[in-house]
Amino acid sequence: MDLEEIREHLGSMEVWVNKAKAWWLETPNLDVEKMARLMVDIGSRLVTVTASRVPEGEFRIIYHWDLQGQLLNFVTLTHQATLPSIMSISPVADWIEREIHDYFAVDFAGRKLPTLVLSEKDPPGIFSWNFLWKGKEGGHA
Amino acid sequence: MSFTIPIGPYHPALEEPCKVQVICEGEIVQDVSLSVKYNFRGVEWLAERRNYHQAIALVERVCGICSNVHALTFCNALEGLAGLTVPERAQYIRTIMVELERLTSHALWAGIAAEVMGFQTLFMTCFAMREQLMDLLETISGNRIHYGMNCIGGVTRDLANPEAVRITVRRVRQTVTDQLIPLFTEDKTIHARCSGIGQMTKEQAVAWGAVGPTARASGLTEDIRQTSPYAAYNQLEFKVPVETSGDVFARVVVRLLEMVESCHIVEQALDQIPPGPIHHGPIFVEIPRGEAVARAEAPRGELFYYVSSDGTDIPCRVKIRTPSFVNLPTVRLMMLQANLADVPLINASIDPCYSCTSR
């Protein structure tokens, strides 16, 4: 399956962009479960997921997949700081989603999110705790 | 009747902070849970509050064993973002440093594996060999760890004495081929401790996203140096050792063979390294607005960096995914139905780095 077929299968109206030897597809309303199922079915490997803050309390989430040495990056946005979990489709997402929850308090619906790097008593979202930093707000490029 | 046995948070084999909670029926492991929260330092958060040059020194401290590859991958991401071309000589020096680091890392792991198995003389052999490598790295960079060799656009130091590298690598290769490989592969005690223990199938390795020697011991062939080459790897010939049994023994064999290949890569790089500059130009490079990713094959597997920039001298977002972060969850699969006495060795067999995992 080539990149265009992947894009069409996901129903994205955007186009693939090549940046620094990797492919990027920005789809604000991406069906992440459908995307994960497709990528697993075509033998792709989930490398990791990156979260970063954007205005209005939402988060920009990037799913990085390796497909035969090519890095494909699916970019989407959270809705009310929540996205569906893909752990049941790709088990590697287990720790990845828990870490993002610890860092940003993003919820991944459909699963429990025990802390990974924080202690059980700590509230999630350590990268957003106000007392830590009141200066520069991280945002996407 | 089942027993819950907490092991850690001080690792019984690797002297690092990790808690393994094992549920046993008799001596057979029925379930495992891992806790890796004891080394969290917020490196990503800190990197987003330092300028790019400070962040290079910071990310190099994610790990004390594979520090160089962290700085290299971060610089690769920034170079991709800025569209910089790194001079060829610098690419070769980076390759030599990364392979020397892989040798020290694998030597450390082999020594600890030998110690866990109670083979003290083999442990001493591994560490004596590693000492030569660390002396060499000190000769090249001035430091035994945290070499500070990478900067945006090249390397900070030239290779002043290539012959010293060649001599040490020749000695290391001789030790690996004449002593380590025969001992690790032919000794009956090592076979008894490693063969058929801590198995992970290829299907499990794929599903759980295992990388590096851990994945290649289960039959996966992926190595970022070949599938997505960086530094000077596209100009060098080397094999990627793969085993299919998926047990502790396979992980031992893969790492030992990788050490031989690393020696081969360094020797080729020394033969081919061209003269020329080691840096693309100005020390302070403007990083434009945008985002980039970079990957490298660290000693434990694929290392991933994501960097986004808003055009200032401080990164907006730095994401680090270390190989141990994806390899550690597979330990649970390896330990199920194992004997309790094998738990430390199985855990050590993936060469976990808790400093990398928690960051």
Q: Which residues of B335-351 are buried (b: 16+ CB within 10 A; e: fewer)?
A: beebebebbbbbbbbbb
What pLDDT sits at residue A138?
A: 45
Do B5 and B21 form a contact (C-beta atoms < 8 A)? yes
Q: How many domains does chain B have?
A: 1
Say if residue A109 is exposed, middle or buried (CB neighbours under 10 Å; 0-12, 13-18, 19+). exposed
**Helix, strand, or coil (residue B211):** coil
Minimal C-alpha gap between B72 and chain A (Å): 16
Cα of B276 to nearest chain A Cα, Å: 25
Cα B54–chain centre separation? 23
Q: What is the CATH number of the domain that holds B22?
A: 1.10.645.10
Q: pLDDT band at residue A133, thresholds of 50, 70 and 90?
A: very low
pLDDT band at A139 (very low <50, low <70, confident <90, very high): very low
C-alpha span between B299 and B105 (Å, rounded):
6
In terms of residue numbers, what domain contains B320?
Answer: 2-358
Q: What is the pTM of this model?
A: 0.90
pLDDT for B216 equals 95
Interface with chain B: mutation pick from A66, A67, A89, A128, highest number of B CBs within 10 Å: A66
The confidence score (pLDDT) of residue B12 equals 64
In this prediction, does ipTM exceed 0.90? no
Distance in Å, alpha carbon of A6 to nearest chain B alpha carbon: 20
The pLDDT-based confidence of A58 (bands split at 50, 70, 90) is confident
Phi, psi (degrees; rounded to nearest 5) at B358: -80, -35
Which has more confidence, A11 or B46?
B46
Q: Cβ separation of B306 and A50 shorter than 8 Å?
A: yes
CB-based contact A138 B317, cutoff 8 Å: yes
Q: What is the pLDDT of residue B3?
A: 86
Identify the residue whose tokens are 């596209």.
Answer: B234
Indicate yes or no: CB of B37 within 8 angstroms of CB of A118: yes
Which residues does B contribute to its contact with A (CB < 8 Å)?
A: 36-37, 40, 42, 44-45, 48-49, 77, 80-81, 206-209, 222, 227-228, 289-295, 302, 304, 306, 308-310, 314, 316-317, 319, 321, 325-326, 328-329, 358-359
**Structure token digits, residue A33:** 């479960």
Angle subtended by helix axes B248-272 and B162-175, to nearest 10: 150
**Integer Cα distance of A18 and A72 in angstroms:** 9
Residue in chain B nearest A138 by alpha carbon: B316
How big is the A-B interface in CB pairs under 8 Å? Answer: 108
Say whether residue A1 is in contact with chain B using an 8 A CB cutoff: no
pLDDT given at position B281: 79
A135: contact with B, CB 8 A cutoff: yes
Q: How far is CA B115 from CA A26, B12, B182, B190, B252, in A?
A: 50, 11, 17, 11, 14
The CATH fold assigned to A3-128 is Beta Polymerase; domain 2 (3.30.460)
| Euclidean distance between CA atoms B200 and B338, whole angstroms | 12
Split chain B (359 residues) into runs of 10 and give each run's mean pLDDT.
82 74 89 87 89 93 90 94 92 96 94 85 92 94 90 91 93 94 89 88 91 94 92 93 92 94 96 91 84 94 94 91 93 90 86 83
For B305, phi then psi, to 5°, come to: -130, 135
Convert the pLDDT of each residue in A76-129 to its tens digit.
999 989 999 999 999 999 999 999 999 999 999 988 889 898 888 888 888 876
Sheet order of strands, B290-298 included? B290-298, B301-309, B317-321
Whether A141 sits inside 8 A of B308 (CB atoms) is yes
Structural domain boundaries of chain A?
3-128
Please give the C-alpha separations between residue B295 and each of B98, B231, B304, in angstroms, as whole numbers.
13, 11, 5
Cβ A9 vs Cβ A37: under 8 Å? no
Residue given tokens 């033969």 in the structure block: B271
Return the structure tokens found at B328. 């550690």
Match 């009747």 to its residue by tokens.
Answer: B1
Q: In chain B, what residues touch A21 (CB-CB under 8 Å)?
A: 80, 228
For residue B9, cis peptide bond before it (omega within 30 degrees of 0) = yes
- Note whether B295 and B224 are within 8 A (CB): yes
